[in-house]
A = this chain, B = another copy of it.
Amino acid sequence: MSRDSVIDTRTGDAPPTASSPDAAAVERAVGEIRAALDDKGWVTDPAALDSWLVDSRGIYHGKCLGMARPASTAEVAAVMRIAYEAGIPVVPQGGNTGRVGGSTPDGSGRMLLINLSRMNKVRAIDAANDTMTVEAGCILKSLQDEAAAADRLFPLSLGAEGTCQIGGNLASNAGGINVVRYGNARELVLGLEVVLPDGRVWDGLTGLRKNNTGYDMKHLFLGSEGTLGIITGAVLKLFPRPRTRATALVALSDLDAALTLLADAKAKGGGALTSFELMPGFALDWAEKLVEGARAPFEQTYDWTVLLEFAGGEAVEAALQTLLEEAFEAERIVDAVIAQSEDQRGQLWFLREAIVDAQNREGAQIKHDISVPVSAIPDFIRRAAEAVERVQPGTRPYPFGHVGDGNIHYNLSQPEDMDGETFKARAPDLHRAVHDIVHDLKGSISAEHGIGRSKRDELTRYKSAVELDIMRQVKRALDPKGLMNPGALLPEA
């Protein structure tokens, strides 16, 4: 089960690593690694290391032999060769914004941290090919800006975009708010450059859209959370920049109407639907009450609302108008506001973000990052509500998120009259109840955030033995010494 919400240890788990080289060999290897890097390339000062040894939620605190900060692929390769020879386990790290402890070393102090921040160059932009070749340490936001400067869109967009790095986004197959149209991070990649566990470099930096010459190795490294190699570069897909956006907040007649409205929006939008965000009506009230500047635009509290957006040419405004008129007629929606300006659009999106803050201010929370087939969302929300009420009466479900992707952030707020810590102690049982329903509906217990260290043991419960076995076969083949991010993703056999 996921223990994120209840464990807060200063030491981490220190899972056993595959090899334990003797101290003298490690010392020699560390000396060689220092020699392979420049002055800025090696960090051991505790103050400078501190923030890189704890995950973004403050749950995993680790130690390390030192942090390598290579400035080039050749330097990553050199460091990896030395570590491989000496049998030193390595943890690759980007912006360290992950939510599952996947880029934090364990507490043993025997791991080498390799941080990619200095590899932050855009190597090439090929506008006519709609591609951009980048290094792993580029900040996501800076890549959005580079693409815009070339009159293109790089659509990956998520909360941490100002600090997360593309290498981490790719290693964890990040999702975000544009998936319904553009896909996950995985779908935005044409080619990869990867340093393999033994220090060899795989140059798979192709910008091709069709290439059937053997196994598609990039998809193994994408989403592998640093357990098979280190992504050092990528060729990313670019898209035309949408000229016009049409945005509306609507109130649904009932939860099931979310599905018919979504299908209509996809059909009428002709590929232009970029967002379809479900929010419980009372969440808008919480936002208005608790977050400065947030305003719930409806005069009453509806059960369910959706923020939806089309982006494309000028036709999207008419498409949105038609969609909403027909939805009123069919009684799928009972109220709607359409943004009449960029400012009003901003207010609606601010409200969408504010519901997250609002919940943070309304007591203790327990969270789930789940997905189910889109068709199962209403069922999931109803069944999960019943289940959590059974496990902990008074719990207030706060489900919101990306209906078009089947991805619901199934957050729970504490009962009004309960102590927060007491509620948090119920996390294991609530996780189990929610995840069992997800599993029963053929869903995923980690839609966006990955497995890392926090959900690793959950895999044993929810993944088939056959699938775990072929994952392990691949792991053994590509990382025979088991040195790549041990303790993350793959459960012990």
| Chain A interface (Cβ < 8 Å from any Cβ of B) | 126-131, 172-173, 175, 179, 181, 184, 186-187, 196, 200-204, 206-217, 219-220, 222-224, 228, 239-243, 259, 263, 266-272, 311-313, 315-316, 318-319, 371-376, 402, 404-407, 442-451, 455, 459, 462-464, 466-468, 470-471, 473-478, 489-490
Contact = CB atoms under 8 A, between A and B. Distances in A.
Given A215-B223, A444-B210, A470 B462 contact: no
A63 to B, nearest CB: 27
Nearest to A187: B187
A255 to B, nearest CB: 13
Contacts of A402: 210
A445 B215 contact: no
Contacts of A450: 212-213
Nearest to A266: B240
Contacts of A489: 214
Contacts of A240: 263, 266-267, 270
Given A270-B313, A470-B202, A215 B210 contact: no
A476 B270 CA distance: 44
Nearest to A371: B210
A252 to B, nearest CB: 15
B312 A270 contact: yes
A404 B448 CA distance: 30
A386 to B, nearest CB: 22
A126 to B, nearest CB: 5
A315 B270 CA distance: 9
Contact of A477 (B200, B318, B376, B474): B474
Contacts of A448: 210, 212
Given A272-B271, A474-B474, A405 B213 contact: no
A198 to B, nearest CB: 10
B207 A373 contact: yes
Contacts of A181: 271
A311 B269 CA distance: 11
A189 to B, nearest CB: 11
A476 B219 CA distance: 18
Given A215-B471, A470-B217, A443 B208 contact: yes
B371 A209 contact: yes
Given A201-B466, A271-B272, A373-B208, A213 B312 contact: no
A436 B214 CA distance: 18
Contacts of A315: 270, 313, 315, 318-319
A408 to B, nearest CB: 10
A406 B270 contact: no
A153 to B, nearest CB: 10
A239 to B, nearest CB: 8
Q: Looking at A204, A371, A372, A373, which has the most chain B CB atoms within 10 Å of its CB?
A: A373
A318 B313 CA distance: 11
Contacts of A213: 444-446, 450-451, 455, 459, 462-463
A301 B190 CA distance: 37
Nearest to A263: B128
6 contacts: A128-B259, A208-B371, A208-B444, A215-B224, A243-B267, A315-B318
A468 B268 CA distance: 45
Nearest to A258: B128
Contacts of A204: 467
A451 to B, nearest CB: 6
Give the top 9 A-B pairs by smallest Cβ distance, nearest first.
A270-B312, A315-B315, A219-B219, A271-B271, A477-B477, A128-B375, A240-B267, A211-B444, A210-B447
A197 B451 CA distance: 28
A451 B128 contact: no
A259 B206 CA distance: 19
A223 B217 contact: no
A203 B464 contact: yes
